[in-house]
Amino acid sequence: MRLRLITDDGVAASFGLAADETLAQRVGLGASPPTLRLYTYRSHCALVGRFQNVENEIHMDYCRAHGVDVNRRPTGGGAIIMGAEQLGVALTLPGREGTSYCHARELMEHFSGGLLRGLKRLGVAARFRRKNDIEVQGCKLVGLGIFRASSGGLLFHASVLVDLDVPLMLHVIKTPFEKITDKEIESAAARTSTVRREVGREISMDDVRAIVADGYAQAFNAELSAAEFSAAERREAQVLERSKYRSDAWVFRRTEVADASGTAKVKTPAGLLDVRVTLAGRMLKAVYIGGDFFTAENAVAELEERLRWHPRHSERVAATVEDCYRRQPDLGGIPMHALCAALHKAIRRAKNAETRARSDPYACFVNPEAAIA
DSSP for 206-238 reads: HHHHHHHHHHHHHHTT-EEEE----HHHHHHHH
Q: How far apart are CA 124 and CA 346, in angstroms?
A: 36
The residue that leads in pLDDT, 357 or 238, is 238
pLDDT given at position 331? 83
pLDDT given at position 203? 97
Q: How far apart are CA 170 and CA 179, in angstroms?
A: 9
Distance of CA 327 to the CA centre of its chain: 25
Residue 229: pLDDT over 90: yes
Tell me if residue 85 falls in helix, strand or coil.
coil
CB environment 232-253: b (16+ within 10 A), e (fewer): ebeebbeebbeebbbbeebbbb
pTM: 0.73
Distance of CA 300 to the CA centre of its chain: 19
**Domains of the chain from N-terminus onward:** 2-251 (3.30.930.10), 259-358 (3.30.390.50)
- CA dihedral of 341, 346, 350, 353, whole degrees rounded to 10: 100
CB environment 173-182: b (16+ within 10 A), e (fewer): bbbbbeeeee
Task: For residue 96, give the DSSP letter.
Answer: P
Tell me if residue 122 falls in helix, strand or coil.
coil
Residue 343 has a CB neighbour count (10 Å cut-off) of 27
3-state class percentages of the chain: helix first, strand second, coil last, to nearest 5: 45, 25, 30
Question: What sections of 34-163 are H helices per DSSP?
Answer: 54-57, 60-66, 104-111, 113-121
Residue 230: pLDDT over 80: yes
In this prediction, residue 122 has a pLDDT band, given cuts at 50, 70 and 90, of very high
Phi, psi of 202 (to 5 degrees): -70, 135
In this prediction, residue 98 has a pLDDT band, given cuts at 50, 70 and 90, of low
Q: Dump pLDDT digits (tens) for 184-216.
A: 788 788 889 999 999 999 999 999 999 999 999
In this prediction, residue 344 has a pLDDT band, given cuts at 50, 70 and 90, of very high
Question: What sections of the chain are H helices per DSSP?
Answer: 13-29, 54-57, 60-66, 104-111, 113-121, 166-172, 182-191, 195-199, 205-219, 231-240, 248-251, 297-307, 314-327, 336-358
Tell me if residue 58 falls in helix, strand or coil.
strand
Q: Dump pLDDT digits (tens) for 25-76.
A: 999 999 999 999 999 999 999 999 887 889 888 999 999 999 999 999 998 8
Q: How far apart are CA 122 and CA 357, in angstroms?
A: 49
Count of alpha carbons within 13 angstroms of residue 214, beta-carbon side: 11
Q: What is the mean pLDDT of residues 283-304?
A: 79
Q: What is the mean pLDDT of residues 349-353?
A: 88
Q: How far apart are CA 222 and CA 138, in angstroms?
A: 31
Tell me how many degrees the CA angle 279-285-287 measures, rounded to the nearest 5: 95
pLDDT given at position 255? 63
Tell me how many degrees the CA angle 328-331-337 measures, rounded to the nearest 5: 120
First CA to last CA distance, the chain: 33
Q: How far apart are CA 6 and CA 135, in angstroms?
A: 26
pLDDT given at position 353? 81
Phi-psi label, residue 130: left if phi above 0, alpha if psi -120 to 50, beta otherwise = left
The residue that leads in pLDDT, 91 or 276, is 91
In this prediction, residue 360 has a pLDDT band, given cuts at 50, 70 and 90, of very low
Going 250 to 252 to 257 to 259, the CA torsion angle's sign is positive
Q: Dump pLDDT digits (tens) for 237-289.
A: 999 999 999 999 999 987 655 678 899 988 888 777 889 899 988 889 888 88
- Provide the β-strand partners of residue 271: 268
Q: How far apart are CA 291 and CA 21, in angstroms?
A: 43
